[in-house]
Structure 1
């Protein structure tokens, strides 16, 4: 595998910093709601957007903007599909984008990562929507119809293309995993709950076995967030956590989860921790466990503790 290319690490904004950005920015600031729920939760982010949102926000549907030809959920779209989605939202490359999700820090990091992959120039993430509400900032609760929520003025968005060497494919990861000595040259971190990593709890998708990759490290994504507020922990706490888990910052890091969503929570947390350097960014296995569990050999699916 090639080392990933150099990209900038985007900023995480407190609610107060987000409000300051709205005042100080020299370019339009567009909030992007990326709310998404696991299929067993029974909630719909798009429907909730019609009921409540940050003023001026637009909804980016990670269930729709993807590689529709893939059997695996949330695989990155082609540049053409991404450009159309951004154009349909009326976004230009001059706009400053601030992503958020209603759960706190769950699916917004996935959109943040996607925007980085497609090289949008100015992107931030709100840390986070529940805290924004709690601190009394403005919320738009006007009920919208789907027609009212549509963006009347479309744009022509043209990404320079995806940074493909930050995206790990099944073939890439299999090449790492099949040779024990080679895989020890990488950190493979898994954001799923620990009980799914051990194989003790089922996956939320029926028929999919749980377990983990050989020599992977379990770091459930909620461990990088404060328990009460769901904010990202401080840089020092995050660094302490990752090092205690056995992450070696001198080795390339591959993040994964169930479908490539909460892996991006770990990717964002590593950026804040200072362990992710601009010249060595974290790579994300896009298909994640859903793809691996369906395609790999049984001997490459491990259960129990290591």
Structure 2
């Protein structure tokens, strides 16, 4: 069992939990969250990781839904359990060893954390974790990809400019990182929307890297 929180479940556990929600391999899954676009991207990525494409994101989430005055309910929907089969696993997950290799070469790593956490000027919120970032990585704070009022993704042209300003080369394979593997999935979703499909999410992210004192860090911007 991975000692770090919120890591990727194994295939059997993912299949069990998804099936318990009444989802089968013919279900169109629409994912949303309360803030607008946050943890929903992680769920989207997990389905993609396990080879399931019939999954969408409600852009702007519940926040935007309410702004548009669409109906809401407090009733909990109960569905009969179903059988969700994992057909195959995609190569969308980066492990620490691969990230280290990319960091020591000319590869691309993009960090979704705040500029302060990335640069090391802001103390990391995870106990026992060093401050700074993976050497060679670029920084694009995930919230910069969203309209701050609606919490929807920015238009594609503006999304592209955000990646361009980060300094990352989107024509090359990119490893996406953050604090715990959650907001890196927002970067993944944005790249997917822009048609850039050659990326992986570093699930351990800074929660893993920053705690391992054998790994190099950088605190320069």
Q: Same fold (TM over 0.5)?
A: yes
Query: What is the alpha-carbon distance in structure 2 between the residues aligned to residue 260 and residue 83 of structure 1?
Result: 20
Query: What is the alpha-carbon distance in structure 2 between the residues aligned to residue 153 and residue 241 of structure 1?
Result: 43
Tell me whether 1:190 sits opposite 2:122 in the alignment.
Answer: no
The answer to whether the Cα contact below 8 Å between 1:254 and 1:284 also exists between their aligned partners in 2 is yes
Residue 173 of structure 1, CA deviation: 1.1
The answer to whether the Cα contact below 8 Å between 2:102 and 2:108 also exists between their aligned partners in 1 is no
Residue 187 of structure 1, CA deviation: 1.5
Query: What is the alpha-carbon distance in structure 2 between the residues aligned to residue 104 and residue 118 of structure 1?
Result: 24
Residue 75 of structure 1, CA deviation: 1.5
Residue 296 of structure 1, CA deviation: 4.7
* Bigger radius of gyration among the two: 1
Q: How does 1:124-143 map onto structure 2 within 5 Å?
A: 124-128=56-60, 129-142=62-75
Q: How does 1:78-117 map onto structure 2 within 5 Å?
A: 78-117=10-49
Q: Name the structure 1 match of 2:95.
A: 169
TM-score, scaled to structure 2 = 0.94
Q: Name the structure 2 match of 1:75.
A: 7
Residue 295 of structure 1, CA deviation: 2.1
Q: Name the structure 2 match of 1:256.
A: 177
Q: Name the structure 1 match of 2:220.
A: 304
The answer to whether the Cα contact below 8 Å between 2:140 and 2:162 also exists between their aligned partners in 1 is no
Q: Secondary structure at the match of 2:210?
A: helix
Query: What is the alpha-carbon distance in structure 1 between the residues aligned to residue 148 and residue 18 of structure 2?
Result: 34
With over 3 angstroms needed to count, the CA separation of the structure-2 counterparts of 1:124 and 1:289, relative to structure 1, is: same
Q: Secondary structure at the match of 1:295?
A: coil
Give the paired residue count.
Answer: 220
**1:176-231 Cα shifts (integer Å, max 9, x gaps):** 22x3xx2x2x2200001110011111222222222101111110100111122111
**Which of 68, 75, 82 in structure 2 is aligned with 1:155?**
82
Query: What is the alpha-carbon distance in structure 2 between the residues aligned to residue 188 and residue 235 of structure 1?
Result: 21
The answer to whether the Cα contact below 8 Å between 1:189 and 1:256 also exists between their aligned partners in 2 is yes
Q: Name the structure 2 match of 1:212.
A: 133
Q: Name the structure 1 match of 2:167.
A: 246
Give ranges in structure 2 of 5+ residues lacking alignment. Answer: none
Q: Name the structure 2 match of 1:30.
A: none
TM-score, scaled to structure 1 = 0.69
Q: How does 1:8-27 map onto structure 2 within 5 Å?
A: none
The answer to whether the Cα contact below 8 Å between 1:86 and 1:157 also exists between their aligned partners in 2 is yes
Query: What is the alpha-carbon distance in structure 2 between the residues aligned to residue 207 and residue 191 of structure 1?
Result: 20
**1:106-133 Cα shifts (integer Å, max 9, x gaps):** 1100000101111224110001221111
**Which of 236, 255, 264 in structure 1 is aligned with 2:157?**
236
Query: What is the alpha-carbon distance in structure 2 between the residues aligned to residue 109 and residue 152 of structure 1?
Result: 23
Query: What is the alpha-carbon distance in structure 2 between the residues aligned to residue 195 and residue 262 of structure 1?
Result: 16
**Which of 203, 212, 218 in structure 2 is aligned with 1:295?**
212
C-alpha RMSD over aligned residues: 1.5
The answer to whether the Cα contact below 8 Å between 1:73 and 1:287 also exists between their aligned partners in 2 is no
